[in-house]
Structure 1
Amino acid sequence: MKTTRHYLDHNATAPVLPEAREAALRAMLLVGNPSSVHHEGRAAKRLLEKARAEVATLISARPQDVIFTSGGTEANHLALRGLRLPKNADGAKDAAAFRPLIINATEHESVLAAASALDGRLDADGVTRNQMALCPVDQDGLIDFAALRQCLAEVSRPALVSIMLANNETGVIQPIAAIARIVHEAGGLLHCDAVQGLGRLPIDVGAADGPDCISFSGHKIGALKGVGCLWLRPALGLMPLITGGGQEQGRRSGTENFPAIASFGAAALHARQQLGAMKGIAALRSYLEQRLAEIAPEAEIYGRAVERIANTSAIRMPGLSAETQVMSFDLEGIAVSSGAACSSGKVRTSHVLKAMGATSQACGEVIRLSMGVQNTMEDIERFLVVWKKIYDRARSRRPMSMT
């Protein structure tokens, strides 16, 4: 008998939307390369630019400021490695393009990896231009403003700061407007990884107190995997990571992943129409967390005291490893993930939870549940039944560990 599946891992990836799949299929039927000037090429170009306009509309941006990439990871690397200061009055670029980097301690690993690779990098004169500072967060996962100001004061030059909008493990939302004011007052630039916020929070890139560049990913909102974008404030320069044919206005060469981009446009339109559905998802999560507290008062929800994206819960079941929980849920037909899962699917200590002050043992006992608009109360009720079953079994085997 086939087990009914309940998918509760939308922060990893969302199911491909029917309209996104249809858009990709339509794009596949077009023969032309969007860079070609003949009829077929122009038809492909029109569809590509339509998708760009849909993505731009979702974030209240100009289409020409949206740079398509292979995903959020590439967009993060492009921002941290390629961002340049505006041209000087005489038209010359800033002499030292590599800036000090200040990174939030709970950033996605793609940001941490890009920053680590740049730390101590030498410029053309053989002078070390990059310094990397890791800015701490409090026990709720919010950035420490005093520490951020101190980091900005200690660097040798105005810094590039990277702070994510919403955390992929806990859902905690950072106060980006306040952070942007602090960074800009210090003469710095702010990059924001908004991959988990897209389609779940209203995003207006034109806000007065906002980031200077923002990374997004398509598959988190129901597009095909393998497409994302970077929004760049118009006055800023960008050195491409990939050069060649000059696509994306010379900022990201290579023939565009046209079907995936078309699906991204369709998913962006759907996300814009579905933003109101987040209230329903928030109600499901509130019910879930209330019931968990009734079943096991010692269970912990990380980030619960502060604002989070509506779909995410990071839940600790004391006394049972996250890996065992994930496998147990899977056998019962429920897809969740470990709060300590890395991109390769292996499990290791979560740097996010560690930064929030969790012990190594606690980090290893946290699972992440993340919902989408397709989820219903039936999914939550089934999760609660299985969670209690796993919890009761663990408590009966290790009673001393549950106190």
Structure 2
Amino acid sequence: MFLTSKARYAVMGMLEIASKEPFSLTKLADIALNQEIEVLFLEQIFAKLKGAGLVEAVRGPGGGYRLAKRADAISISEIIRAVEEDIKITRCAHQTHSGRSNGCLASGKVTCATHHLWAGLENQIEEYFSNKTLLDVQNQRLAKTPSLNNIYFDHNSTTSLLPEIKKEMLELFQRPLNASSTHANGRDAKHYLENARSRVKEFLKADSQYNVVFTSSGTEANNLAILGIKNVNPLVSVIEHSSILGIVSHAIIKVLPTGAVDLAELEKFLTMCSERTPLVSVMLANNETGVIQPIKDIVYLAKKKGAIVHTDATQAPGKIAIDINDLAVDMMTISAHKFGGPLGAAALIYKKNLDIKPIIIGGGQEYRLRSGTHNIHAIHGFGLACSLEEKYRNLMAKTEPIRDYIEEEILNIASQAVFFGKGAVRLPNTSSISMPNVTAEAQIIHFDTNGIAISNGSACSSGTSKLPHVHMAMGYSLEEAKTATRISLGINNTHEEAKRFIQVWKDLYLRSNKLIKDAI
């Protein structure tokens, strides 16, 4: 069949663009890396696709290609015809679509005996490609491609539900439980609710001055902490989660190159707060770099100025020991699914003397701080996760030597590689790694196709285009920050999986940098 590489690469390139829309533009360099095609060859192909009105080019930083029409409005036949003249099955020199030909053989005058057989096949192929859209191919690919992510290095995003929690939750799912009901089922629901509340407090070593309000997510708990206290002056660090930064656009505390909060900067801001009570919010451990913040020092400085202190401790449970009394914070956020519990249950632990107003209005559940029917099944699972946290944390300790091994081996491969926050105290399972000259997006796709799940930051921002604010806040350039990906190991990850990760990392690094070197 006379279908050239040019046509096949055009379809592959268009499919890659379609898979990323509408959230991001696609660079030819990324397609070249993923499909192992020379960039110069792709440039020729995409010049023709652009000329045919199938793609549009966006210039400037962050630019790339996007579809000029919807994927369901672009046929495969259009793509092929944009880059080459025809789909040929016969050897006819001047065949037309009606089947007529000036000849199949060398003389150009004689029609071969099987001409109509091949011409008919050619017409069927043409019809097939004309009726098959880019969206059809994309959907077919998604439906038929099995999940390859048999190595999961994205535990800071979410963890697997622990088997013992899954078992108890499945049994509970058989029962209709609403803690606001006054009948027997409602009383049972109330029992599960308060039992989970006690387990959260016990896990955090929270004394009688603290209470627990259950929320649906860490994001909601963070919102309640910042928006629920009125007439305060919020002071937050520049590396906070978007659920904090999204509601505080001023008074941003800088961090040092290590990723730790600049205490001198914090003290300066605290001094400037004269009219309203400062509300300081600094995460206990960063979700992207794993850097652990000096919360006790932050509390010491804040309390000298009469400030309220909140810490987003979402990433800490199951990785480091937490004692809320020892930290002496006024509020703390944790979330179940970060340490073996279920999705849909989180909590804000707060001192009872705080005047917190609800941000969700309704039936007044959760001490009138958070209205809405309790998710008893998830909250029960949350409580179980808290009871199992020490066991989980002991298992998590084994990830540190695996993480360190990965970093050492990568440095042997690429001495220019950067491990963001390596000079600071970090979570044992987390490493933020730069691959010189290769974008995070290209890396994630490469690892995904090789059966390894990693990320480039907060999963809560998945599907959105955002600047790598944490790495840039540490003093790295945009170009350096854009090469950063995150691995976050879990209790079941092994050295063998680490070796596989290193090999896949090495393959992409060497190939991509060879392409760059050859292009210069």
Do they superpose with TM above 0.5? Answer: yes
Aligned mate of 2:346, from 209, 228, 238: 228
Q: State the secondary structure of the residue aligned to 1:143.
A: coil
Aligned mate of 1:65, from 176, 200, 211: 211
Q: Distance in 1 between matches of 2:299 and 2:147?
A: 51
Match of 2:237 in 1: 104
Match of 1:150 in 2: 268
Q: State the secondary structure of the residue aligned to 1:34.
A: coil
Q: State the secondary structure of the residue aligned to 1:352.
A: helix
Match of 1:301 in 2: 419
1:363 to partner: Cα distance: 1.1
1:2 to partner: Cα distance: 7.6
**Rg larger in 1 or in 2?**
2
Residue pair 2:177, 2:376 contacting (<8 A) in 1 also: no
Q: State the secondary structure of the residue aligned to 1:45.
A: helix
For residues 73-152 of structure 1, what are the structure 2 equivalents within 5 Å? 73-83=219-229, 97-116=230-249, 132-152=250-270
Match of 1:274 in 2: 392
Distance 1:54 1:393, change over 3 A: same
Aligned mate of 1:177, from 271, 287, 296: 296
Match of 2:37 in 1: none
Match of 1:311 in 2: 429
Match of 1:200 in 2: 319
Residue pair 2:237, 2:252 contacting (<8 A) in 1 also: yes
Distance 1:74 1:4, change over 3 A: closer
1:270 to partner: Cα distance: 2.2
Distance 1:206 1:342, change over 3 A: closer
Q: Distance in 2 between matches of 1:379 and 1:23?
A: 30
Q: State the Cα deviation string for residues 163-185 of structure 1 (Å, max 9, x = none).
A: 00000110000000010000001
RMSD: 1.9
Does residue 25 in structure 1 map to residue 143 in structure 2? Answer: no
Q: Which one-letter code corresponds to 1:387 in the other structure?
A: W
Query: Which aligned segments of 4 or more residues in structure 1 are displaced greater than 6 angstroms?
Result: none
Distance 1:30 1:339, change over 3 A: closer
Q: State the Cα deviation string for residues 344-380 of structure 1 (Å, max 9, x = none).
A: 3334321111111111111110100001112111221
Q: Which one-letter code corresponds to 2:283 in the other structure?
A: M
Q: State the secondary structure of the residue aligned to 1:159.
A: strand
Distance 1:17 1:344, change over 3 A: same
Q: Distance in 2 between matches of 1:340 and 1:269?
A: 26
Does residue 166 in structure 1 map to residue 285 in structure 2? Answer: yes
Q: Distance in 2 between matches of 1:401 and 1:274?
A: 49
Aligned length, in residue pairs: 373
Q: State the Cα deviation string for residues 61-98 of structure 1 (Å, max 9, x = none).
A: 25871110011000000000113xxxxxxxxxxxxx32
Query: Unaligned stretches of 5+ in structure 1?
Result: 84-96, 117-131
Q: State the secondary structure of the residue aligned to 1:232.
A: strand
Q: Which one-letter code corresponds to 2:303 in the other structure?
A: H
Match of 1:291 in 2: 409
Match of 2:111 in 1: none
Does residue 55 in structure 1 map to residue 200 in structure 2? Answer: yes
Q: State the secondary structure of the residue aligned to 1:250.
A: coil
Instruction: Indicate the larger mover: 340-349 or 299-308.
Output: 340-349
Distance 1:181 1:243, change over 3 A: same
Distance 1:256 1:108, change over 3 A: same
Q: Distance in 2 between matches of 1:309 and 1:400?
A: 39
Aligned mate of 1:11, from 156, 161, 165: 156
Instruction: Indicate the larger mover: 321-330 or 233-242.
Output: 233-242
TM-score by length of 2: 0.69
Query: Unaligned stretches of 5+ in structure 2?
Result: 1-145
Residue pair 2:287, 2:458 contacting (<8 A) in 1 also: no
Instruction: Indicate the larger mover: 275-284 or 370-379.
Output: 275-284
Q: State the secondary structure of the residue aligned to 1:66.
A: strand
1:36 to partner: Cα distance: 1.7
Q: State the secondary structure of the residue aligned to 2:299.
A: helix
Q: Distance in 1 between matches of 2:192 and 2:373?
A: 14
Q: State the secondary structure of the residue aligned to 2:288.
A: coil
1:385 to partner: Cα distance: 1.0
Match of 2:18 in 1: none
Does residue 38 in structure 1 map to residue 183 in structure 2? Answer: yes
Match of 1:189 in 2: 308
1:114 to partner: Cα distance: 2.0
Q: Which one-letter code corresponds to 1:27 in the other structure?
A: L
1:328 to partner: Cα distance: 0.1
Q: Distance in 2 between matches of 1:133 and 1:337?
A: 29
Identity, % of aligned pairs?
39
Distance 1:3 1:102, change over 3 A: closer
Distance 1:154 1:254, change over 3 A: same
